[in-house]
A and B are shown apart, each in its own frame.
Chain A
Amino acid sequence: MADLKVNVCGVEFENPVIAASGTFGFGKEFEELYDLSVLGGISLKGVTLERREGNASVRIAETPCGMLNSVGLQNPGIDHFMKEDLPHIKRYDTKLIANINGNTAEEYCAVAEKLGDSVDMIELNISCPNVKCGGMAFGIRPESVLEITKKVKPFCKSPLVVKLSPNVADIKENALAAQEGGADAIALINTVYGMAVDARTMRPVLANVKGGLSGPAVKPIALRMVYDCYSVVNIPIIGMGGIMTGEDVAEFMLCGASAVQVGAANISDPFAMPRIIRELDNYLTEMKIDDIKSLIGKLRV
């Protein structure tokens, strides 16, 4: 068995495969399916200062090789999260990332402050396309990425990962802005803003009209963006977008990711992550690679 350990800005992961926020809840639903300690980490469902009920249904639409969602950050709020959800998932030997959101910079700061040092990492979600305020609005222009990262960073007692939106002019500038603002790492990509239309009913499929596209359909975009960012930043990258297999993980790492997140695959197949980790191990054995870290950024161009 190859060495699957990776280190992302000081946080040691048993393997580079992390559940992506919004596809894994607070882990509870998956604990009856398999031992969560096999996972590198879990980026927990996005939390906000107050409880949120999210958007109206229909919230999901299948599209070729992908899916659109418009959940809209439904969550029980940070206090419930700290009291009930986080203590429950802490029993597993895996790294935990809190995904934080807000309508205003102050709300992001308040959530980060309440987290204290209770999680291994904080993921700043400035890339959710499904909320009216905040979300992606903070993540589109490099200036606002810089500003919010700078504001939230002093409230973080754990390493700060800024999760970037792909719906931008030049991902490199946004990555650099996050780095300049004090991010310890960046994560990309969040979903691609899109929509689905039903020609028979002449209506949008999603009640919220537009939503975020994920799944294998976005993988080429994600790989390119990780590759671009790796060429300009000197902080680690967590790559994601349509990872369904162990070889997909290797592709992201070759493009420069130090770790990856798996999202849509969990929805397609709840047992996907343990399988992906096994496949990754098999890939390394077949490729005669002893240490997975030797893949990072080693794409032969």
Chain B
Amino acid sequence: MIVDLIFQVEENKLIASSTYEMTLKTEKLPPIKAGQFAEVKIPSREDLILRRPFCVYSVDSEKNSIKIGYALRGKGTKELSALKVGDEVQVLLPLGNGFPAVEKGKKILLAGGGVGVLPLLSVAESYLDNEVYCCLGFKDKNLVMKADEFKRLCKKAVFATDDGSFGEKGFVAEVLERHMDDIKPDVIFACGPEPMLKSLKKFSAVPTYVSLEQRMGCGIGACLVCACKIKKADGEHNLRVCKDGPVFLFDEVFYG
């Protein structure tokens, strides 16, 4: 059930260079699954008519609070970064399908890059009884986020930076290759910049799901602006990242 609720800002803090985490609290939170997202209306800016989509990567159903993360990119995220504790924001949620359910006993590998690691945190939080591994890449140590949480929730957490300033030096796929034999995952969930996602091709013998990003409108599947070309048995189709995704099978996104 999609609802449009008023939330109060509980906390709004930097978690990496130019990247914020906002904790939002409401009266009654609807059920939210790992990988689903929310669309946030930018308060007191009538000129910014589109909502901003952010993954809800942490849910506390007892406290009716959620966490969203955002990198400073434009006018909207700049406004959000200025919000203070107690300020109100209007949030449409839950949106999209999230990650598919994983059976007990299956090993999950999370592969993420940059701010794209955040949606993967919701998977780690949701599968406390499964063996969860992660390999997360960042440009440098200033952009590393949520390392302690991933270390706490994952059986093994591997970090990669382009310059080697945190964890191992190299891109996610390169670093992952060194650890793949130890992990032997049953399923891979990935989120991050497109080149990083594409580089996972070498592991795609393992069922791999990617959470995509696209400029978005309504968030509910009506306006058809967030199209993504997906290959199905009967040919290519422009599917909606918001409603049909944001999580798709790797082979259906990166073919050819």
Contact = CB atoms under 8 A, between A and B. Distances in A.
A57 B226 contact: yes
B217 A60 contact: yes
Contacts of A55: 227
User: Interface residues of B toward A: which range?
Assistant: 20 to 34
B89 to A, nearest CB: 13
A30 B220 contact: yes
A270 B217 CA distance: 10
Contact of B237 (A53, A59, A61): A53
A103 interface: no
Contact of B47 (A33, A65, A71, A270): A65
Interface in B14-58: 41, 46-51
Interface in B185-200: none
B47 A30 contact: no
A62 B4 contact: no
Contacts of B2: 32-33, 270
Interface string A248-277: 000000000000000010111111000000
A286 interface: no
A54 B236 CA distance: 12
B32 to A, nearest CB: 16
B49 A29 contact: no
A266 B220 CA distance: 10
A266 B48 contact: no
B63 interface: no
A54 B239 CA distance: 11
B50 A30 contact: no
A62 B49 contact: yes
Q: Is the interface of B mostly helix, strand, loop or mixed?
A: loop
Contacts of B201: none
B233 interface: no
B222 A54 contact: no
A23 interface: yes
A216 B220 CA distance: 21
A266 B223 CA distance: 9
Contacts of B237: 53
Interface in A23-38: 23-25, 29-30, 32-33
Interface string B1-14: 11010000000000
Q: Which of B41, B49, B51, B236 has the most CB of A within 10 A?
A: B49
Contact of A264 (B41, B49, B227): B49
Q: Is the interface of A mostly helix, strand, loop or mixed?
A: loop
Interface in A187-222: 215-216
B215 A60 contact: yes
Contact of A267 (B46, B218, B236): B218
User: Interface residues of A toward B: which range?
Assistant: 35 or more
Nearest to A76: B237
B231 interface: no
Nearest to B220: A29
A182 interface: no
A270 B4 contact: yes
A64 B47 contact: yes
Contacts of B50: 60, 62, 67, 267-268
B222 A30 contact: yes
B49 A59 contact: no
A268 to B, nearest CB: 5
Contact of A69 (B214, B219, B223, B229): B223
Contacts of B228: 57
B238 interface: yes
A282 interface: no
A118 interface: no
B216 interface: yes
A297 interface: no
A59 B238 CA distance: 12
Contact of B4 (A56, A57, A59, A269): A269
List 6 A-B pairs, minimum CB-CB distance, nearest first: A60-B225, A25-B222, A59-B225, A29-B222, A267-B217, A29-B221
16 contacts: A25-B221, A25-B223, A32-B1, A32-B2, A53-B236, A57-B226, A60-B216, A62-B49, A64-B47, A69-B217, A71-B224, A267-B217, A267-B218, A269-B4, A270-B218, A271-B4
Interface of B: 1-2, 4, 41, 46-51, 92, 214-229, 236-238, 243
Given A22-B224, A29-B218, 4 more contacts: A53-B238, A267-B49, A267-B50, A270-B219
